[in-house]
Amino acid sequence: MTVEFICRAMRLSDIADVIRIQAEAYIDEILETDEVILARFAQTPDTSWVVERAGEVCGYLVGYHSALGEVSPWGSEFAHKPESTALYLHDLAISKSVAGCGLGPLLVNHALMEAQQRELRAAALVSVQNSKSFWQKLGFNECDQLDEIQQHNLASYSGPAIYMTRELAG
């Protein structure tokens, strides 16, 4: 019998797995503190998801409702913005133990379907760790039209950071 991967809403009990997976997936310069991760989950539990197999969390995706052209600085807390038009995908990470199983696209597509159900018009993110081609395969495009404040926020990320957006089907 094959055990399937499923996407579901993140629970508080998943945070230890999220912290573990983040440490596997990211370079030290962009690891975020346990406190920031907990604060974000407390503010945005309805836009925090995990993928699991047989009860084991294998990956996660955390986002929030935002506006196109607004970039969260690295390490900052966030909350849903009033009158949002976009789902900002802030943090996607998959455990190395399931690398190559297609879980990144599975989680992203799950989140995008939920965004469409909430009548959000677009999705946005900051691509880090040379992930631009991954996001392009999922329909995201580089957006270089950010104001000075948002350019400064983008520069808070270590290494090349690229702001990317995608329109969602109406």
Residue 96 CB neighbours (<10 A): 11
54 touches 19 (CB < 8 A): no
Rounded to 10°, the helix 15-25/34-43 angle is 130
Tokens (6 digits) for 39? 């604060």
Judged against a pLDDT cut of 70, whether residue 170 lies above it is answered with no
Res. 143: pLDDT tops 60: yes
Q: What is the mean pLDDT of the chain?
A: 92
The per-residue pLDDT for 148 is: 95
Q: How far is Cα 107 from Cα 137, in angstroms, rounded to an integer?
A: 14
Structure-token match 């503190």, residue found: 33
Pairing of strands 86-94, 122-127: parallel
Q: Tell me what pLDDT residue 158 has.
A: 83
- Judged against a pLDDT cut of 60, whether residue 1 lies above it is answered with no
What would the pLDDT profile of 154-164 be if each residue is shown by its tens digit?
Answer: 999 888 899 99
Query: What is the Cα–Cα distance from 110 to 6, expressed in whole angstroms?
Result: 10
Nearest Cα to 128, choosing from 94, 98, 154, 146?
Answer: 154
* Residue 137 binned pLDDT confidence (cut-offs 50, 70, 90): very high
Give the residue from 63, 70, 53 showing the smallest Cα distance to 7.
53
Average pLDDT over residues 3-32: 90
pLDDT of residue 33: 85
Token reading at 142: 């580089």
pLDDT digits (tens, 9 = 90+) for 64-117: 999 999 998 888 878 889 889 999 999 999 999 998 899 999 999 999 999 999
